[in-house]
Amino acid sequence: MNIVRFSPASLTPYNSYRVAAWAEACFFSETADDFVAALRQSVGVRTVLLGHGCNVILSQDHYDSSVRFLATARLEPALAVAGDRLSAGAGARLRDACRLAARAGLSGLERLWDIPGSVGGAAHMNAGAYGTSFYEVVESVDVLYPATGERAALSREQCRPAYRMTAFQGTDTVILGVRLTLTPADPAAVLAEMGRIGKLRRSKLPYDLPSAGSVFRRPDGAPPVGQIMEEAGLKGFRIGGAQISPRHAGIIVNAGSATGADILAVVEAMRRAARQRYGVELVLEQVVV
Ligand SMILES: Cc1cc2nc3c(=O)[nH]c(=O)nc-3n(C[C@H](O)[C@H](O)[C@H](O)COP(=O)(O)OP(=O)(O)OC[C@H]3O[C@@H](n4cnc5c(N)ncnc54)[C@H](O)[C@@H]3O)c2cc1C
């Protein structure tokens, strides 16, 4: 097996909040073999696996070498279509998978169009929008268990998908790739639906500033988070560089040199507001590193 070297690097390009952070031990692999070697070499060491970093909050501006950062963002995307099946490596952009499906005349990913991040991240988080989620089209997920080096192809049921949840959360299981089953359709119709969704998203979400999308899971027994924050007068509320988006109050944006601490302070203010107004405990969707 290859021996890989971990080295210091900036994490700023690897988190969509664009928080400035530095880590002493990083390996941003370009080949699947090196990626697996790095995972196997890191057993017993605290390891943070990033996809494209579109759903993470980096809480520190410096990480010493006791924690290793690995990312799939530079891996070969390995996107392919055969019949009504689409396969993708973990590092492939979800947007590229959607585009490929549309070109091949395959329907099923349209409402996931324009969700930033990787296929591996979507499979870990069960990304979703507009009443659908990633696992609706998943046939199987290829995983690696780093401790033993064992690999498996898991069925959708084995991944136990639920609203923004999967069996992988809270475990060290690494997603290597996915196979999707889609439905043959007219490419023009698929593209038109993606265009509609893209316009809808751009009209509602603050794509103009760095963010990581919705901060919290949708609460049970209370209005959407954005509405709670508006009612609490928190739209536009700011601590340091982190601001509750004036366009969508369920999203925190980096309005200028935000730190992880700024973002987490705004998270706390949002939690307090939901507790006070509706007695609900908001649950973070984003992953704090
Ligand atoms: C503007 C904007 C809009 C967004 N809109 C939506 C939306 O509509 N719906 C939605 O669901 N999300 C949305 N998001 C959040 C984000 O795009 C998704 O959660 C996405 O699936 C994260 O993918 P990622 O590769 O960036 O994962 P990361 O943020 O890198 O990682 C998220 C988690 O997944 C784990 N992970 C990543 N890759 C792997 C892997 N290969 N194996 C095992 N674990 C892995 C990480 O360890 C981490 O715990 C939005 C984000 C932004 C910035």
Residue 93 lies in a domain: yes
CA–CA separation, 279 and 184 (whole Å):
46
User: Is residue 51 within 8 Å of 120, Cβ to Cβ?
Assistant: yes
140 and 175 fall within a common domain:
yes
- Residues framing ligand 1 (Cβ under 6 A): 16, 49-56, 72, 90, 115-118, 120-122, 124-125, 127-129, 168, 174-175, 205, 207, 211-213, 287
CA–CA separation, 289 and 277 (whole Å):
29
14 and 66 fall within a common domain:
yes
62 and 101 fall within a common domain:
no
pLDDT under 70: residue ranges of the chain: none
128 and 196 fall within a common domain:
yes
Q: Which of 71, 102, 123 is the last residue of a domain?
A: 71
27 and 88 fall within a common domain:
no
* Residue nearest to ligand 1 atom 33, measured at CA: 121
CA–CA separation, 203 and 131 (whole Å):
18
User: Is residue 283 within 8 Å of 216, Cβ to Cβ?
Assistant: yes
CATH code: domain of residue 115: 3.30.465.10
| pLDDT score recorded for residue 122 | 98
CA–CA separation, 214 and 54 (whole Å):
10
* Residue nearest to ligand 1 atom 9, measured at CA: 128
Alpha helices (H) along the chain: 32-41, 94-103, 119-125, 187-204, 225-231, 260-278
- Which residue out of 39, 124, 214 has the highest number of ligand 1 atoms within 8 Å of its CB and is therefore the one to mutate? 124
| pLDDT score recorded for residue 2 | 82
Atom of ligand 1 nearest to the CA of 14: 30
The CA 197 to ligand 1 mean position distance, Å, reads: 19
Give the three-state DSSP class for 106. strand
Q: Which of 71, 89, 113 is the last residue of a domain?
A: 71
Residue 1 lies in a domain: no
114 and 176 fall within a common domain:
yes
Structure tokens at 11: 């994490």
Q: pLDDT tens digits for 55-93?
A: 999 999 999 999 999 999 999 999 999 999 999 999 999
Query: Which residues constitute the domain of residue 162?
Result: 80-202
Atom of ligand 1 nearest to the CA of 129: 8
CATH code: domain of residue 284: 3.90.78.10
Atom of ligand 1 nearest to the CA of 116: 17
174 and 117 fall within a common domain:
yes
226 and 279 fall within a common domain:
yes
Residues paired with residue 71 on neighbouring β-strands, in sequence order: 50
48 and 145 fall within a common domain:
no
Q: pLDDT tens digits for 90-132?
A: 999 999 999 999 999 999 999 999 999 999 999 999 999 999 9
Residue 2 lies in a domain: no
Q: Which of 202, 233, 258 is the last residue of a domain?
A: 202
Tell me how far the alpha carbon of residue 230 is from its chain's centroid.
25
Number of domains observed in the structure of the chain = 3
Give me the residue label for tokens 């700023």: 12
User: Is residue 56 within 8 Å of 45, Cβ to Cβ?
Assistant: no
User: Is residue 127 within 8 Å of 117, Cβ to Cβ?
Assistant: yes
- Which residue out of 115, 136, 201, 248 has the highest number of ligand 1 atoms within 8 Å of its CB and is therefore the one to mutate? 115
CATH code: domain of residue 47: 3.30.43.10
Model confidence, pTM: 0.96
111 and 187 fall within a common domain:
yes
